[in-house]
Structure 1
Amino acid sequence: MKRSERKDMMRERILEAAAKMHLKADPEEIKMRDLAQMIGISSATLYSYFSSKDELSQAVVMRILTKFHDTLMGYLNDPTLSFPEILQQMQLLSQHAHRSVNAEMAELIFQIFQDNNEFELFFDSQSDFWQQFVARGRKDGYIADDLSDTAVFIYIDMFFQYFRNRQHMEKFNMTPQSLQKIDHELDIMFYRGLFGSKGACPDPNMKPNKYV
């Protein structure tokens, strides 16, 4: 095995162990030496991969989001799923993600979301996910024909960018935890707006208007 492959395997091993720790405990209380001991490596080896706990935490969050993104893309590319079924799976995944994250980890994820532009690779309107989502929605008749792509992508960006602004959070006295509680309501409003006056109802039991 090449040295680069061994390094990649060790990095993944570290991130997998660190992710489990972050999801179970307050990230602030996690110690690098405890993580190294759990993996069975020295602290020096751990620091050769991640120079600080902050760097490690950001890598953990990006790893979690990458897996989340890849699962969503899997739904979009599954020809056996209808568009309403894709929406159902997306919502179930989101609910599961919220339940599996403790309050402190939710706070950390949201902080990194606000500060790290790498998030745009996943959920900005120009990301592969939203490009394919809109294309699939149009193909299946669930995004209104009277909405241009430009308007749709601006609308997506409005939702994506809104909570990256701390002033918006402060305006409504919102915390990551209180935001989680209304996430489903925001989903409903988002899909209703995306489907438009001639589009589909976000209720997965209803069919798009083009089939009515």
Structure 2
Amino acid sequence: MKREELKEQNRRRILQAATELMIQQGIAHTSIKEVSEKSGISFVTMYKYFDSKEALAEEVVYDFQKKHLDQLLEDVTDKDLSFKEMIRVFEKNQQELEELLGPEGFEEFRVFGQKSERIAAYFKEMQKQLVTMLIMAGRVSGVIHTKASNDSILMFVSWLMEYIENRHEELTEDQMADIESLFMYGLVGKGEHKNI
């Protein structure tokens, strides 16, 4: 086996072991020693591939996010889904991630992803693509009929998502319903209001 192939194989073994451990027990509770033992790559050799646990965790979270977001994009692309069907696909994807990682792991991966410029940039680009597809599906189905441009809607959604992500406590169901209502109908509310 060529040297470069061996290096890539070792790198993949380390990442696979780290991913399995970090999904099972979280990033904070996974040690480099455990990854070394699980991967069969010596502790010293591992540092040739990743110079710190943070660098390894960043790669794990990036690969994990990329795999799941790429799959989500594939699930909603070229399938002629309605607005509601697309929302259901997004919700299902979120539920699957939360079930796989557990509530604490999900939060830990999310926070770690926000701290990494690389992961945050990738997530932002994917979010833009997915929300744009959602807007287009909403316009086609008639759910979104505002005169506001797609760019303006995208900007508003980005602000809203950033606000929700940066909150220190979770939103209640009532708050989520209020935000959904504000998003769909604005401050005026549902229906026509001629007295404004």
- What are the equivalent positions in structure 2 for 1:68-107 lying under 5 Å apart? 68-79=68-79, 81-107=81-107
Residue of structure 2 in register with 1:51 after alignment: 51
Paired residue type of 1:129: L
Deviates more, 1:105-114 or 1:144-153: 105-114
Whole-Å separation in 1 of the counterparts to 2:135 and 2:3? 42
How many corresponding residue pairs?
A: 186
Identity of aligned residues (%): 24
Q: Contact 1:122 / 1:129 at 8 angstroms: preserved in 2?
A: no
SS of equivalent residue, structure 2 residue 28: helix
Q: Contact 1:76 / 1:86 at 8 angstroms: preserved in 2?
A: yes
SS of equivalent residue, structure 1 residue 79: coil
Cα deviation digits, residues 87-120 of structure 1 (max 9, x gap): 2121011012112223542342233243223323
Whole-Å separation in 1 of the counterparts to 2:133 and 2:8? 30
In the superposition, the TM-score normalised over structure 2's length comes to 0.76
Q: Relative to structure 1, is the Cα distance of residues 87 and 3 closer, same or farther in structure 2, using a 3 angstrom cutoff?
A: farther
Cα deviation, residue 4, structure 1: 4.0
Residue of structure 2 in register with 1:17 after alignment: 17
Cα deviation digits, residues 50-85 of structure 1 (max 9, x gap): 111111111111111111211210122142543322
Whole-Å separation in 2 of the counterparts to 1:78 and 1:184? 34
Cα deviation, residue 35, structure 1: 1.0
Residue of structure 1 in register with 2:132 after alignment: 131
SS of equivalent residue, structure 1 residue 29: coil
Q: Relative to structure 1, is the Cα distance of residues 46 and 158 closer, same or farther in structure 2, using a 3 angstrom cutoff?
A: same
Q: Which runs of 5+ in 2 are unaligned?
A: 187-196
Paired residue type of 2:157: I
Whole-Å separation in 1 of the counterparts to 2:40 and 2:61? 22
Q: Relative to structure 1, is the Cα distance of residues 157 and 30 closer, same or farther in structure 2, using a 3 angstrom cutoff?
A: same
Q: Relative to structure 1, is the Cα distance of residues 117 and 67 closer, same or farther in structure 2, using a 3 angstrom cutoff?
A: same
Cα deviation digits, residues 122-157 of structure 1 (max 9, x gap): 235873333333334334433224232232012121
In the superposition, the TM-score normalised over structure 1's length comes to 0.71
Whole-Å separation in 1 of the counterparts to 2:117 and 2:159? 16
Whole-Å separation in 1 of the counterparts to 2:126 and 2:96? 24
Whole-Å separation in 2 of the counterparts to 1:111 and 1:79? 32
Paired residue type of 2:61: V
Whole-Å separation in 2 of the counterparts to 1:28 and 1:39? 18
Select the structure of larger CA radius of gyration. Answer: 2
Residue of structure 2 in register with 1:148 after alignment: 149
